[in-house]
Structure 1
Amino acid sequence: MTTIASQVVLHPVVSQSLKLLGTTLGRDKLYRSVQYFARFLAWFLLTRGYKIQAARWNALKSQLALGRKLMRLGKPLEHLQAALRAIQTRADAGEQITAIGRQLAYFGYLTYDGIVWANAVKFFNLSPSTTQKVNKMANRFWLAGILFSITHGLLKAGRLANEAKKLSGSQIWEKSLEVDRDAQLQALAAQRASTRHQFIIDILDVWIPATNVGLVHFNDGILGIFGLITSLLALRQQWFKVTGAKK
């Protein structure tokens, strides 16, 4: 029995999972996955008339959302630093502008999100109208950040595609140069894959703040599924990064 318990508790997957959950980002993406699954399930149960069961999942969704706000309290400064680094980095003008815009928008979003959290835990009390305005401003910044990210992804994807095309079409006469070109093509392929991955996440996530500010009107079932998919994609990416596993 002890041997079986040891094999389960000390299994490499368990160790890797603990390593993943030892990171703030890993925990955040796991909580976000459960949060948006709860959002979908609460909507699903409510449409079937199961109000009591739906209320339980709604409560779980709300508490996870509140807990994630607490974990993100220091992140506005991270995005501000990233914006300053983007200003100092030499890059394509369009990519640089959108990168700076994205980081500044996320800085604004998370700053207002922190105010929402402080009001929710009664650290200070805002009037209902002010709370609504702060929530809406946070979602506007979130939406702007995702739109900047989508634009950045499109510009970067186009540039990387052109660079890969030029490298593939170039004629190499020396073996050493051919090896170097293949290495560059592999690096470009990895960057293109990463850009596509982020684009998929952005194109699904964008509808959440867009709905919150009233630009579109998707129900909680659709938004829950979108949020669950993007959370699992981000969690998977963090898994590979932390554990060193091959994709």
Structure 2
Amino acid sequence: MVCDTFVYHPWVTHLIKFLDTTAGREKVLRFLQYLSRFIAFTSKSVKAKSLQLQFLLIRKVLRFLKPLNHIQLASKLFDNKLSSQDPVVRLANVAKNVFLAIYLGLDQINLLRLFKILPVGSNVKINGIINYKVPRWANYFWLFSILSGIVSDVRSIQTADFELQQVALEDSKIDDSEEGSIRETEILIKKIRQAKGGATRKLVWDLLDSVIVLNNLNYMKSRDDVVGLSGVITSVFGVQDVWKAIK
């Protein structure tokens, strides 16, 4: 009876659905990868360092052909010109998904190199294209996608602030006896604040991810525990988003 109560508990059912998705497993592995990186630095654990690399390899396998997702999303955003979404936000998100598609495509080349399917040498030609430091170029495109995301986040926050000002101006004109209008205004303000909160959260997410990629490119010289902790926090954000998306 106790076992049935646990097995059929709604939270357990939701967890099973979460782990049954590729995105869910990948986000959990990302969390473990950066947690291992943090532990490897703080405790000087060789085992944690090894686990970090293993989690990274498994994540690369799970992301196989994922560039197609971002290409499709970028196409949909670009074609949806009649959307009510702010044009700056829309185009920034288009750029973000294009850069992510290229980043993940280059990451697939890294995966083939790790499996020794493609040669690792830096001057090897692949389909006539010289393979100069593919991992570095992958990180550049990840950085470009993050910068595009930051543009979108900042613009979304600015738009939300402007909308709140407009609602406050309209609210000052409403008579206190108009209860229906007051209620609608409260709901609208709550919706705008939620949108601003989501954009602020995403901005923090992008800034923390930028710490990781800037260290990968050697533009920053942060300690591994700082990079690991940044990855842990953004991984938690990713897990939360996938968890909420599952019905």
Q: Same fold (TM over 0.5)?
A: yes
Task: Please identify, of 84-93 and 62-71, the stretch whose mean Cα deviation from structure 2 is larger.
Answer: 84-93
Farther-moved stretch of structure 1 (149-158 vs 125-134): 125-134
Comparing 108-117 and 91-100, the one that deviates more: 91-100
SS of corresponding position for 2:133: helix
Q: Deviations over 1:155-178 (max 9, x none)?
A: 111011101221122023554444
Cα distance between partner residues in 1 of 2:18 and 2:43: 32
- Corresponding residue of 2:174: 172
Q: CA deviation at 1:221?
A: 1.1
> Quick check: 1:25 aligned with 2:41?
no
- Alignment counterpart, residue 58 of structure 1, candidates 49, 55, 58: 49
Runs of 5+ unmatched residues, structure 2? 125-130
Q: Deviations over 1:186-244 (max 9, x none)?
A: 3222211211121111111111111111111112111111100111122123223325x
What one-letter code is carried by the residue in structure 2 that aligns with 1:211? N
Q: Match of 2:68?
A: 77
| Change beyond 3 A, Cα 1:129–1:89 | same
The structure-2 alpha-carbon separation of the partners of 1:238 and 1:107, relative to structure 1 and needing over 3 Å to count, comes to: same
Structure 1 counterpart of 2:88, from 76, 81, 94: 94
Give the total of aligned pairs. 234
Letter aligned with residue 135 of structure 1? P
> What is the TM-score with the length of structure 2 in the denominator?
0.87
- Structure 1 position 209 matched with structure 2 position 209: no
Aligned to 2:128: none
1:134-158 Cα shifts (integer Å, max 9, x gaps): 0000000001111110111001110
Q: Distance in 2 between matches of 1:37 and 1:117?
A: 22
1:103 maps onto 2:97 in alignment: yes
Alignment partner, residue 14 of structure 2: 16
User: TM-score of the superposition, structure 1-length normalised?
Assistant: 0.87
Q: Identify the match of residue 192 of structure 1 among 187, 190, 196.
A: 196
Q: What do the CA deviations read for 1:32-86 (whole angstroms, capped 9, x no partner)? A: 111100011111222xxxxxxx221112111111111111122211111222222
Distance 1:41 1:84 in 2: 40
Aligned to 1:50: none
1:24 shift after superposition: 1.9
Q: 1:229 to 1:132 in 2, by over 3 A?
A: farther
Query: Of the candidates 232, 235, 238, which is equivalent to residue 236 of structure 2?
Result: 232
Identity %: 26
**Change in CA separation of 1:129 and 1:223 when aligned onto 2, cut-off 3 Å:** farther
* Root-mean-square deviation (Å): 2.0
1 CA distance for matches of 2:156 and 2:192? 11
* Structure 1 stretches of 4+ moved >6 Å: none
Using the TM superposition, name which of 3-12 and 123-132 deviates more. Answer: 123-132
